[in-house]
């Protein structure tokens, strides 16, 4: 159980990347007052939390409905997380972890960015949704699912904290400091993604284990 909690914490921390979200959030709320920025952060994290929690509870049922095996999704999810890790190591923003250039331009002209692009895809993006599906490979609610939900809530609270302190974090770490942290998290995610791919291959092709 401790291993599951640790794995869930590291994975969700890396793919949601609260520290990396701070400067992006600051740029999207440029010109807003502090109360408005606070309300946007709270609303965005709340909406993203609802989406992620529902996906955690219903994700496995969706896979079974689509007749997708856990092993197949483990391989596909591992590949997606590997692409995400490459973006992080290269400090390159893409639609996997953040908004595209055109989405950012659209968001600037929106009165409320809490749903788009803050909740989706900045917080509840493909990486976070895929991670939750990889972590919850059980058809019923069990203790493991409760642990994952608890870890998810901790990460969401940490994300909210980082967004509320976005201006201070950006000023303290600077772009270089944030990029260094992002690269380190990307290296960790690379190893975890490859492990998911290996696990899926071993289940799909038992001959690889030599048994």
Share of the chain above pLDDT 90, in %: 27
d(CA 20, CA 200): 30
Identify the pLDDT of residue 137. 64
Average pLDDT of the segment spanning 117-123: 88
Residue by residue, DSSP assigns the chain as -HHHHHHHHHHHHHHH-HHHHHHHHHHHTTT--HHHHHHHHHHHHHHHHHHHHHHHHHHHHHHHHTT--HHHHHHHHHHHHHHHHHHHHTT---TTTS--HHHHHHHHT-S--IIIIIIIIIIS-HHHHHHHHHH---SS--HHHHHHHHHHHHHHHHHHHHHHTHHHHHHHHHHHHHHHHHHHHHHHHHHHHHHHHHHHHHHH-GGGGT-
Would you tell me how many other CB atoms lie within 10 Å of the CB of residue 51?
A: 17
| Residue-range domain boundaries for the chain | 2-13+41-204
Tell me the pLDDT of the chain averaged across its residues.
Answer: 84
Average pLDDT of the segment spanning 53-82: 85
Contact between 124 and 16 under an 8 Å Cβ cutoff? The reply is: no
* pTM of the predicted structure, to 2 decimals: 0.80
Predicted confidence (pLDDT) per residue in 28-44, tens digit: 887 788 899 999 999 99
């Amino acid at each position: 159980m401790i291993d599951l909690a640790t794995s869930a914490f590291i994975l969700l921390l890396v793919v949601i990347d609260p520290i990396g979200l701070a400067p992006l959030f600051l740029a999207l709320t440029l010109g807003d007052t502090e109360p408005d920025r606070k309300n946007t952060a709270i609303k965005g994290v709340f909406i993203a939390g609802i989406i992620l929690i529902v996906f955690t509870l219903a994700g496995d049922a969706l896979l079974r409905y689509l007749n997708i095996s856990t092993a197949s999704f483990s391989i596909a999810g591992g590949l997606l997380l590997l692409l995400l890790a490459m973006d992080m190591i290269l400090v390159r923003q893409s639609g996997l972890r953040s908004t595209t250039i055109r989405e950012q331009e659209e968001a600037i002209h929106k009165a409320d960015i809490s749903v788009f692009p803050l909740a989706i895809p900045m917080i509840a993006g493909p990486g976070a949704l895929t991670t939750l599906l990889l972590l919850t490979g059980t058809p019923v609610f069990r203790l493991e699912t409760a642990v994952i939900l608890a870890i998810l809530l901790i990460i969401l609270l940490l994300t909210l904290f980082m967004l509320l302190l976005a201006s201070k974090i950006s000023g303290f770490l600077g772009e270089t400091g944030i990029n260094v942290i992002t690269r380190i998290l990307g290296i960790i995610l690379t190893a975890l993604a490859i492990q998911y791919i290996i696990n899926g291959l071993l289940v799909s092709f038992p001959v690889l284990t030599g048994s």
